Amino acid sequence: MSMERLLVLVLAIILTVGNVLAQNDSGESADKDTIFIQLMPTFPGGEKKLYKYIKKHLVYPKQAKKEMVTGTVKVNFTIDSTGFILPETVNVVNRIHPLLDAEAIKLVKGFPNWNPAIARDRAIACQYILPVRFY
């Protein structure tokens, strides 16, 4: 993976990650159903380990490559309070091609447990959106 592509991937992750909810001016939650997340969930070992995992495990489907299909599949999933990715929550936010969508889902479902999000000094469940690039 070239340095430029890696940088674009990092920026995309930073811009699309999770459901971080802001507080209002008084320091209270915007409404009773929102909370401020102190720490977003993280892949074990950090972003560099995430990129290594993706590079090692992501397979560009041969048929999609043959058809010259490229794009970024955004995968939404929930990481529970123990860091486990709930398989039933893994879904594609933007469909690119059935083969690429399926491979991105397979990648995410194969992730090891993450470090969970932290809010109010407790581990909580949190949604996360990961862009998976096929180029």
Kindly report, residue by residue over 20-79, the tens digit of the pLDDT: 433 333 444 456 677 899 999 999 999 999 999 999 999 999 999 999 999 999 999 999
- Which pLDDT does position 19 carry in this prediction? 40
**Residue 18's domain is classified under what CATH number?**
3.30.1150
Instruction: Please give the tally of structural domains in the chain.
Output: 1
- Which pLDDT does position 37 carry in this prediction? 94
- Which pLDDT does position 34 carry in this prediction? 79
Residue in this structure with the two tokens 């997340």, named with its chain if needed: 37
The pTM for the full model equals 0.76
Kindly report, residue by residue over 1-10, the tens digit of the pLDDT: 554 554 444 4
**56 dihedral zone (left: phi>0; alpha: psi -120 to 50; beta):** alpha
Segments forming the whole domain that contains residue 29: 3-134
Distance CA 134, CA 2 (A): 13
